[in-house]
Structure 1
Amino acid sequence: MNTTEKFHLPVDGVLKMFNTFTRHHRSQSPTPTPVLQQQHPKVLSKTSMGLLETVKGRWRQQDNRAVESVSSDPLPHRCADVTRSMGVIKPRNCHRIVVLGAPQVGKTSVVRRFLGEDFQEQHEPTAEDFHRKLFHIGGETYQVDLLDASMERNFPAKRRLSILTGDIFLLVFSLCDRESFSEVCELLSEIKAAKTKLLKVKQPARLPVVVCGNKVDLAAQRAVSRSEVTEALTRDVTFVETSAKCGTGLEVAFKELAVMGGLPDETSPSRHQLVSMVAYQSLCVNQRGRRRSRTPCAVVDSLVRRPSFGSDLQLVLGSSTKANKPERCHIQ
């Protein structure tokens, strides 16, 4: 074959050739060079080379779509099946609690208590945790997401987006650390400003915030008095002294979170039974799909992951858009 001869090959044959090549060489090289082009760089005509480039482009598109289908799925496949089997949860029964505060004040320990887990003495820095707890109470299903945004303190735009997507806020500081209390006061002002701008009101009727002064069990190391806290906080903010280690005050704090979110009191850890995912489905839904159990129960979805920042941003922009009037991005 000389350079003037044309290289004719059906499209299906080209696809088959590329598929065979990739199955054999993909594990060896992340960006393999097609065999035909490597062995005979001047054999193919312009038409044939254009055909091969088209096939390679379609091959890349298929790989990209495969990656996007995995990354865009908000829940793993198993979780999606579970959600379908339990039916769609009403939007008014879905809430996100955003947990903020300085490092090493006990945020993760408080969240673990809400999830029904025990206190752990060993401290491990939290980058970011996202948890989901599903409840079945009085024939209704509820979804509570908890975003422990510990590391967002160094990224203002990211933290602001978390604040805008939050329905309820749990601010935690250490009674043994005055700087952590000052940080909570700054966060409180930031939440108030963000929510006021998002809701387009002069001032929110009530800030959905619960402030926990943690480590009340360390009385000898206490650096912030109760009177100082109540004087600094506004009346619409609930303050509770807690101990994630001993459990002091946590029941009151969780009850206040339920009140602000319009959730039943049974969402408190002591008021419901924590079961496995399989047991939760069997208690909530029978084979015909009719609700059959009114026993308060809950399950922690261990496979859930945080929704993408893109979907969070779309949620914020969608909730604040007026008819025929574009809105600026509120995280700037």
Structure 2
Amino acid sequence: MTSVDYIVCCIGSGAVGKSSITIRFCYNRFSGSYDPTLEDSYKGQITVDNTKYFLNIIDTAGQEEYAGVRDCNMRDGTGFILVYSIIDEKSFEEVATLHEQIYRTLDFEPEEQNVPIVLVANKSDLESDRQVPKECGEDLAKKWGVPYLEVSAKENINIRRIFETVVKEMKKKPIISVTTQNAAAAQKATKGKHKKGKKCVVV
């Protein structure tokens, strides 16, 4: 069985359940307490179509004051999970801004729809408190050309499916992270300087 490494960024506004989703997937645990995240990194693995994928999952900050940190994390990503809460209409409105930020950071055009993204609506167990109709999430996902899932980290509903889906999207729309591109460009420039510095001595 072959194996592949990916970096997945879990992105959304505060208190939508990004950490809960990641911890449920990696450790099959759930904590109901909310502790704002600056940046955490988790290791997970999943097998899709007989290939084992090792996922470095970056749980990004949801608070606006940490937008710069989130931007840096996006540069490392090869796949993205955009999360909002069905009981928080504002979090749904903010995913559009985050979607734009992903494309801007990666220097892609949104119309191209070539970034591997999964749109996730968390807290489906709180149906009686729903503020965002399912149709709104489905319509937005259709507009962006991305898969859409309603999930519950608390009840472990569709959590594994999120990561199966993002792996399939990364296979379908492979990208090289901005950080990797910059490192490759710097290495190429350094090699070029060394070549320029060589002089031919004729005796």
SS in 2 for 1:256: helix
Aligned to 2:183: 318
Q: Distance in 1 between matches of 2:102 and 2:81?
A: 11
Q: Distance in 1 between matches of 2:30 and 2:105?
A: 33
Following superposition, the deviation at residue 237 of structure 1 comes to 1.5
Indicate conservation of the 8 Å contact 1:207/1:236, yes or no.
no
TM-score in terms of structure 1 length: 0.48
SS in 2 for 1:129: strand
Deviations 1:51-78 (A, max 9, x none): xxxxxxxxxxxxxxxxxxxxxxxxxxxx
SS in 2 for 1:125: coil
2:139 paired with 1:231: yes
Aligned to 1:193: 104
SS in 1 for 2:124: coil
Deviations 1:138-158 (A, max 9, x none): 996642100001256423333
Indicate conservation of the 8 Å contact 2:38/2:66, yes or no.
no
Residue 128 of structure 2 aligns with an amino acid whose one-letter code is A
SS in 1 for 2:38: coil
User: What is the 5 A alignment of 1:157-168?
Assistant: 157-168=68-79
Instruction: State, as a whole percentage, how many aligned pairs show the same letter.
Output: 22
Aligned to 1:214: 122
Aligned to 1:99: 10
Bigger strand share:
2
Deviations 1:127-186 (A, max 9, x none): 321112356889966421000012564233332221121011111111010111111111
SS in 1 for 2:20: helix
**Structure with bigger gyration radius:** 1
2:38 paired with 1:148: no
2:117 paired with 1:252: no
Following superposition, the deviation at residue 235 of structure 1 comes to 4.2
Q: Distance in 2 between matches of 1:138 and 1:177?
A: 35
Q: Distance in 1 between matches of 2:47 and 2:160?
A: 19
Aligned to 1:118: 29
Root-mean-square deviation over aligned CA pairs: 3.2
Aligned to 1:133: 44
Q: Distance in 2 between matches of 1:148 and 1:127?
A: 8
Following superposition, the deviation at residue 242 of structure 1 comes to 0.7
Indicate conservation of the 8 Å contact 1:164/1:316, yes or no.
no
Summarize the Cα distance change of 1:147–1:153 in structure 2 as closer, same or farther, 3 Å threshold: farther
Alignment length (residue pairs): 184
Following superposition, the deviation at residue 232 of structure 1 comes to 3.1
SS in 2 for 1:115: helix
Deviations 1:3-37 (A, max 9, x none): xxxxxxxxxxxxxxxxxxxxxxxxxxxxxxxxxxx
User: What is the 5 A alignment of 1:1-332?
Assistant: 93-134=4-45, 142-151=53-62, 153-195=64-106, 197=107, 204-233=112-141, 234-262=143-171, 315-319=180-184
Following superposition, the deviation at residue 106 of structure 1 comes to 1.0
Q: Distance in 2 between matches of 1:137 and 1:172?
A: 22
Summarize the Cα distance change of 1:203–1:113 in structure 2 as closer, same or farther, 3 Å threshold: same
* Runs of 5+ unmatched residues, structure 1: 1-88, 264-311, 325-332
TM-score in terms of structure 2 length: 0.75
Summarize the Cα distance change of 1:227–1:322 in structure 2 as closer, same or farther, 3 Å threshold: farther
Following superposition, the deviation at residue 113 of structure 1 comes to 1.6
Instruction: Considering Cα pairs closer than 8 Å and 6+ residues apart, tell me whether 1 or 2 has the greater RCO.
Output: 2
Indicate conservation of the 8 Å contact 1:192/1:204, yes or no.
no
Q: Distance in 2 between matches of 1:228 and 1:136?
A: 31
